[in-house]
Amino acid sequence: MILRAVILLGVGVAIAWTTAGLTQSGSEPKPGPAPRAAGQVGAAATGMAGTTTINAPRAMPRVRVSVPRSASGEVEVDASCTTCHATRTPNATTASGAELDEFHGGMMFAHGNNRCLACHDATDYDAFHLADGARVEMADVMTLCAQCHAAKVEEFAHGAHGGMNGFWDLSRGSRTRNHCLDCHDPHAPAFPRMVPTFKPKDRFLTRKGEHAEDSR
Amino acid sequence: MVPKVHDEHRVDHGASANPAVTPAYWVSYPRFLLRAARLATDGSFAFYAWMTLLSAVFLVGANAWAHQVAHGMITTHLTDHVSWGLYIANFTFAVGVAAGGVMMVIPAYLYKDHAMHGVVILGELLAVAAIVVCLAFVTVDIGRPDRIWHMLPFIGRFHFPMSMLTWDVLVLNGYLLLNLHICGYLLYTRFLGRTPNPKWYVPFVMISIVWAISIHTVTAFLYCGLGGRPFWNSALLAPRFLASAFVSGPAFLILTLAVLRRFGLSVPDQPVATLVKIVRVTILVNLLMLGSELFTEFYAGGSHTASARYLFVGLDGHTELVPWIWTAIAANVVAAVLFLVPALSSSRFVLVGCVLAFAATWIEKGMGLVVPGFIPSTLHEIVVYAPSVTEWKVTAGIWAFGLMVYTVALKVALPILSGAERVQTDAERSLAAD
Amino acid sequence: MSSEPDEREGSSRRTVMKAAGATLGLAAFAKAVQPLTEFTDTLTREQFLQKHYKELDADEKQAVLARLEAEAKATHGVDVTIADPPPIEGVKFAFAINLSLCNGNGKCVEACHRENNHDRATNQSYIRVLELERGSLDLGSADSSYDHAVPAPGKAYLPVQCQQCDAPPCTDVCPVEATWKEKDGIVVVDYDWCIGCRYCEAACPYHARRFNWTKPEIPAAEINPNQSYLSNRIRPQGVVEKCTFCLHRTREGRLPACLEACPTGARVFGDMNDERSEIRWILANKRVFVLKEELGTKPSFFYFFDR
C-alpha cells in the first residue's frame, strides 16, 4: 500500500522538474534544476530591517540532451526549450502528454482543461504568455498563476498561503517564502499525498475502529 | 480488653473523688501521652499479629512508592490521557469515609441522642484515620513530593482561592485538626477523670458537622469545576458524593461496632440501630441520584455522554469498567434490599449489607468516578487504564497504614473512655510505688 | 491493664520486646524507602530551595540559568544556552490553521519534538493531529494513530496543541501557581516549581499538557542547544509541560518551529495587536472558529476552511 502511494516529502524541491522523468531511450529530456532568483519584496517600502525573499525561479530550466556526432559518438549539451521547439510547428490543440509521440510523452498533465499553449508561448518556448498575449518570463511566472488563482495570490500576499521561514517580526529579521512552484507541479498542481513518518507512541492508546484505506 | 464502652456523660466520679489532687497539666499531659503510647503498643497476640500484618503491607507500599519517586510515575499505568487513576480514586473514596464518620455526630449532638455519645468518638477517630489516608493518597499521586512545601501558605505559593485543590488542602487539614482536638480533649479530660466541659468541645463538634459536609463538597468541586470534562461537570456531583459518603461512613462504623462486640466489648444496640436508620435513607437517596444521572446521560445522548457510555455500556468496543460498575450497582441494590426489607433485618443481613454498600461505594466513587472522566480523552481518544502493580502495592500500603491508625486510635481511646485508664493521683502513685 | 505491680517483671520483658520490635520495624522501613536515595542523591540544595520564577530577582535568575546550563552540561554533556526572553511589549500572539490545506502529514509534530527537546522514546510532542471524517468536526470519530498516505479519501485533519486560552482553565486550578499566562498570551510552566499534581492536565479541554512520567532521554547530538527557562529546556522528571508557541524563538521575532516545518503552508502566526499582521488578515477575511467555544476558554488559536 505504502509503496503504491509513492509520495514526495518535504518542500523546497522543485517538484515540477523532478517528476517528469526520463526514459532511457532518450525520448524524454531530463530537466536540470531550475535556476532560482531571489525576488525581494516589501523591505524598502515598509522601512523594516528584514526582507522577504521569495524562492522564485530565474529562468526556464535547461534540458540535458545527448546530441549525436558523426565521429565521436554523442555529446551532452544543456539545451533550452527553444532549441527543439524552434524547428517544430506548434500544435494549438495539444492538451496532454499522451497526445505526443516523441517528447513529453510520459508527462502527467492534470491542470484543468488547459492546452499547452494556454501558458506556453508558441513564439518563444522559453517564456509564457498571459491570456491577453502579454509575455511573461519564468522569473515572473507567479503572475501567470495569478491570472486564474487570484484568491490564492491574495492569500499568499498576506502570508496565509505557501508557508514561510524566518521571522514573523520583520523589524527583527528576514523571512523566505515559497514560490508556487515549490509545492505545485504546474502540469499537475494538486499537492502530492504524503506518508506521515512521525507518530506519537502513546502507552495504551487504541485505534478507533477501522479506517478507510486509500484506494488500491 | 476493656469491659465496657461508657457514655461519657455518665461519668463515674468515684474514679477521682477530688479533682484537686490530680497533677498539674504539665505533669498529667505527658503522662497521658505515655499512657496512650503504652495502650497503643500493648495487646493480645491477635493484636500483634494484626499490626504485624498491616505493617508488612504498609512496608510493601512504602517500598513501591520509593521506587515510584526514584524512577518516575512511569511505574504507574497513568498516561497523559488518563492522568489520575487508582490513587485519586481512593483519595476521593477516603474523603467520603471521613465525611461519613460525622453521621454519628449529627444524631448525637444535633438530635441530642445520648445513646450515641458513647460511640461518637468511633466516628471521629474514623474521620482522623480516613483523612490521614486521603493525605497519603494525594502525596503519592504527585510527581514531585520534594516540592510539597510549595503548597504551604506563606512559605510556598498557595494559589488560594482560585485553585480548588488549595481549598481541599485547607478543609482536609482543618477537619483533621478539628477531630484531633475533639478526640484529644475528650480523652484527656476522661483520663483526668473529669467531666468534659461542653464549652471546649461542643462548638467544635458543631463546626465539624458543617466541615464534614464541606470536605466532600470541596472534593466534588475539584471535579465538577472542570468544564472540559462533561462526565464530572454536573451539579449533582457534590450531593451524590455526600449521599454515598453517608452510606459508606456509617456502613464502616456498623462493621467496626460489630468487630468490637466480637472482641468482647459491650456495644449498646441503639447506636447501631440509629446508623442502620441513616443508611436506609442515604442508600436510597444515592440510588435515586444514580437513576437521575443515568436518565440525563442516556435519554438525551450526544457526544457529552461518551464517558457515561464507556462506564455503563462500553464505548467503541472498550468495556473495561462495565462489569465493575454493574457489580457496584447490583451490590448497592442488594444492600438497599437487605437494609429495607423488615424480614431481613437481622444483624447478620445488615452486616452483609454494610460490606456490600461499602464495596459498592468504593467502586462507584473510586475508579467508577475518576477513570471515565478521562475516557474518552478531551480529544475523544481512547487510552485504557488498569492500575499497575506499583499502584496496587502503594494503595494497599496506604489502606494498611490507615487501618493501623484506626486500630491504634481505638486501642487508646476505648479504655480511656471507659474510665479503665485514668491518671493516678499523687497519693495513688506513692501507693503504687511501695 | 498491664500496669499492675505484680506484672512488673512481665512488663519489663514486654518493654524489651517492644523496643526490639520497634527497632526492627524502623530498620525495615528504612530499607523499604531506601530507593528514595536514588532520587534525593541527584537533588541539590539549590534545586530544592529554588524560588518561584516570579520571585527571582535579576541576579538570582542569572544564577539559576547558569546553574541549569551547568547541569545540562553535566548530565548530557552538551553546551546549551538557557535564556529567559521576556514578552515583547505590546505583542499578543495568536495562531491560525487552514484546515483546507492541512493534509495531516505530521511534520509539525516532528518539528515540535526536535525543537522542544522532547523525550525520544515516546515521540513526545505538544501537537496531536487528529484524522476526522470529512464534513464533520465530531471528535468522536477522531483518531491520531493513522499511518496511511494522507490526505486519505473522505478524511480531514485537525492539528491540536495548546490554544493559549485567554481564560485558561489550567492556570486557575494549579495549587501552587506554577503555571500562568504571560503578557504576550503564552501560558507557561515553571518546571522548577510544578509539584506534578496534574490537575492542569485534567482541567485542559484540549489535551495540550504533558507530564514527564520519567526523565526525558535525548541523545546529546540531538539536543537543541538554543533553550529558554520557560520553554524548551530539558524538563525534569515529574513535572508538567506544554506548548509555548516556541517562545524562545517567537520572543526574538522568529516563527515557531511547527510553522516553519509545515509543508502545506497551513499555519499562520503573528501579533494580534498589529493590524497589518498575517493573523489579523486571517481574522478579518476568513470565517474562523475556535475549538470548544462553548467552554468559554477564549482560545488564541483559530481554525478555518477556505473551500
pLDDT tens string C256-273? 999 999 999 999 999 999
Is the distance from CB of B211 to CB of B171 less than 8 angstroms? yes
At A200 the pLDDT is 87
Angle between helices B269-300 and B347-365 (to 10 degrees): 40
Alpha helices in B301-425 (DSSP H): 306-312, 322-340, 347-365, 367-370, 389-418
Do the chains contact at A206 and B318, CB–CB below 8 Å?
A: yes
Nearest chain B CA: its distance from A6 CA (Å):
29
Query: From first to last of its 434 residues, what are the pLDDT tens digits of chain B?
Result: 333 444 444 444 444 445 456 678 888 899 999 999 989 988 889 999 999 999 999 999 999 999 999 999 999 999 999 999 999 999 999 999 999 888 778 888 888 888 788 778 889 999 999 999 999 999 999 999 999 999 999 999 999 999 999 999 999 999 999 999 999 999 999 899 888 888 999 999 999 999 999 999 999 999 999 999 999 999 999 999 999 999 999 999 999 999 999 888 888 888 889 899 999 999 999 999 999 999 999 998 888 899 999 999 999 899 999 999 999 999 999 999 999 988 777 778 999 999 999 999 999 999 999 999 999 999 999 999 999 999 999 999 999 999 999 999 999 998 898 877 777 666 666 666 65
Do the chains contact at A206 and B80, CB–CB below 8 Å?
A: no
Helix (H) or strand (E) holding C180: strand C179-181
At A209 the pLDDT is 56
* B268, part of any domain: yes
C52 confidence band (pLDDT: 50, 70, 90): very high
Residues 148 through 177 of chain A touching chain C, CB cutoff 8 Å: 155, 158-169, 171-173, 175
* B324, part of any domain: yes
Nearest chain A CA: its distance from C249 CA (Å):
9
Do the chains contact at B228 and C238, CB–CB below 8 Å?
A: no
Among B69, B80, B144, select the one facing C194 at the smallest CB separation: B144
Radius of gyration from C-alpha coordinates of chain A: 21
**Type of residue found at B284:** L
Nearest chain C CA: its distance from B382 CA (Å):
9
* Low-confidence spans in chain A with pLDDT less than 50: 1-33, 41-47, 210-216
A contacts of B382 (beta carbons < 8 Å) = 205-206, 208
Q: Does C128 touch chain A (CB under 8 A)?
A: yes
* B431, part of any domain: no
Name the residue in chain B with its Cα closest to that of C295: B227
Distance between CA atoms of residues B58 and C33, nearest Å: 11
At B430 the pLDDT is 65
The CA-atom distances, in angstroms, between B109 and each of B200, B204, B269, B301, C85 are 14, 11, 18, 45, 61
Do the chains contact at A213 and C148, CB–CB below 8 Å?
A: yes
Residues 207 through 226 of chain C touching chain B, CB cutoff 8 Å: 207, 209-215
Letter string b/e over residues B377-404, b meaning 16 or more CB atoms within 10 A of that residue's CB: bbbbbbbbbebbebbebbbebbbbbbbb
Name the residue in chain C with its Cα closest to that of B87: C197
Domain that holds residue B293: 22-424
Nearest chain B CA: its distance from C63 CA (Å):
20
CATH no., domain C93-304 = 3.30.70.20
Task: Please return the burial class of B185, using the count of CB atoms within 10 Å of its CB with bins 0-12, 13-18 and 19+.
Answer: middle
The residue among B372, B377, B346, B357 whose CA lies nearest residue B273 is: B346
Residue A104 DSSP class: S
Among A203, A205, A209, select the one facing B381 at the smallest CB separation: A205
Distance between CA atoms of residues A69 and B306, nearest Å: 76
Among B144, B228, B421, select the one facing C238 at the smallest CB separation: B144
Taking only the tens place, the pLDDT of each residue in C119-142 is 999 999 999 999 999 988 888 888
Is the distance from CB of B267 to CB of B260 less than 8 angstroms? yes
Distance between CA atoms of residues A124 and A119, nearest Å: 11
Virtual CA dihedral for A38, A39, A43, A46, nearest 10 degrees? Answer: -170
C contacts of A202 (beta carbons < 8 Å) = 122
Dihedral (CA of B161, B163, B169, B174) sign: positive
Domain ranges of chain A: 15-60+91-183
Radius of gyration from C-alpha coordinates of chain B: 23
Residue A75: phi and psi, rounded to 5, are -125, 150
Residue C51: phi and psi, rounded to 5, are -80, 165
Among A166, A169, A205, select the one facing C145 at the smallest CB separation: A205
Residues of chain A that touch chain B, judged by Cβ-Cβ distance less than 8 Å? 202-206, 208-209
Residue C112 confidence (pLDDT) above 50: yes
Strand A63-69 relative to strand A73-79, pairing: antiparallel
Do the chains contact at A169 and C262, CB–CB below 8 Å?
A: no
Residue C263: phi and psi, rounded to 5, are -75, -15
Residue A47: phi and psi, rounded to 5, are 70, 15
The CA-atom distances, in angstroms, between A187 and each of A8, A118, B172 are 16, 12, 71
Do the chains contact at A164 and C281, CB–CB below 8 Å?
A: no
Q: How many CB atoms lie within 10 A of CB B38?
A: 18
Among C52, C128, C210, select the one facing B379 at the smallest CB separation: C128
A contacts of B80 (beta carbons < 8 Å) = 202
C186 confidence band (pLDDT: 50, 70, 90): very high
Tell me what ipTM this predicted complex has: 0.94
Q: How many domains does chain B have?
A: 1
Q: Does B415 touch chain C (CB under 8 A)?
A: yes
Extract the C-alpha cell encoding A78.
544543456
Domain ranges of chain C: 5-34, 93-304
Dihedral (CA of B61, B64, B68, B74) sign: negative
Q: Does B385 touch chain A (CB under 8 A)?
A: yes
- The rounded Cα B51 to chain-centroid distance in angstroms is 19
- Please, what's the largest Cα pairwise distance for chain C? 97
Among C105, C250, C253, select the one facing A196 at the smallest CB separation: C105
At B196 the pLDDT is 87
Alpha helices in B192-316 (DSSP H): 202-224, 237-262, 269-300, 306-312
Distance between CA atoms of residues C237 and C216, nearest Å: 7
Beta bridge partners of B244: none
At C4 the pLDDT is 47
C contacts of A159 (beta carbons < 8 Å) = 268, 270, 278, 281
Nearest chain B CA: its distance from A209 CA (Å):
7
- The rounded Cα A159 to chain-centroid distance in angstroms is 20
Do the chains contact at C43 and B146, CB–CB below 8 Å?
A: yes
